[in-house]
Amino acid sequence: MKNEQELKNIVRERYSNIAEQGKVENAASCCGATTPSNKVYNIMMDDYTDTKGYVEDADLGLGCGLPTQFAKINKGDTVIDLGSGAGNDCFVARHETGNEGKVIGIDFTPIMIKKARINAEKLGYNNVEFREGDIDAMPVSNAIADVIVSNCVLNLVPNKNKVIEEMFRVLKPGGHFSVSDIVLVGTLPDALKADAEMYAGCVAGAIQKSEYLQLIENQDFQNLKVQKEKPIIIPDDILSKYLTEKEAKAFNNEGAGIFSITVYAEKPGTKQEKKKVDLSEIIATDSCTPESGCC
């Protein structure tokens, strides 16, 4: 079994190649990572074309939902997008947060960061920033974000619990997230689990839906809910790369399933609480007493 770093390297290499492909190629395959199916239709991604803020040049067809649609972004919010790719979800979030807000996209693939920055520069978006880094060790300070979004990315990270811990860290008290991801219900065939290419293609990196939701609950997020859920059907010509005809038939009939879910949860507290904490820190820092010798 490959270790965490080896799996990360697989994903980074895959998505570097994907950055150079067209949307049709990416959308016709499993999250853009496998050989395109001859059934040219989008297996996972929802249609963004009527979404305000949508930028076609930034849409590589790699998502599995529309998290920004459910993210309750307000004007002036600071939003972080995990696995920002070429920037599409960041630009949609920027439409919601407005000029007075800020959007930070995080991605660990240098070519994706470069592509996203070029797109932002073309659009003249000075309040959209892209930072290179791992989402399980985000290059941002504590309690900085009002909202976190992510689109079909956590399933690619080997240590999902660490990502969820980081999400809790960077959200402000009272902040929330809305993430779309791939999860499983039932048993995935060993051939799909073992194949590195399929891992980078979202499916083998996915975990059970119940386990995914439990990881979020374990981190003390509250008001957890699944905002949207849809089944993902892998076309036979892709499935046949990994399973015999008999195995594929059994897999399709045994009740196991691959799903795209959009999950919402909140960090306990309120934004007013965050302001009080900040004020108390300032008072503590600036306080001067005879005992301290500064008076």
Residue 43's pLDDT is 55
Residue 205's pLDDT is 74
The DSSP result for 18-87, as a single string, is HTTS-HHHHHTSGGG-SPPPSS-S-SSPPP-TTSTT--GGG--S--SS-HHHHS---TT-EEEEES-TTS
Residue 232's pLDDT is 78
Pick from 180, 186, 203, 201: which is nearest to 69 by CA? 180
Residue 214's pLDDT is 97
Block mean pLDDT (10 aa), the chain, length 295: 63 64 49 41 62 77 86 97 93 96 95 94 96 96 98 88 97 97 82 52 74 96 96 76 81 76 95 50 40 44
The CATH class of the 4-270 domain is alpha beta
Residue 192's pLDDT is 66
Residue 216's pLDDT is 97
Provide the 8-state DSSP code for 109: -
Provide the 8-state DSSP code for 201: T
Residue 139's pLDDT is 97
Helix ranges (DSSP H) in 110-208: 110-123, 160-170, 190-194, 196-200
- Percentage helix, strand, coil for the chain under 3-state DSSP, each rounded to 5: 40, 20, 40
- Domain extent listing, the chain: 4-270
pTM reported for the whole predicted model: 0.79
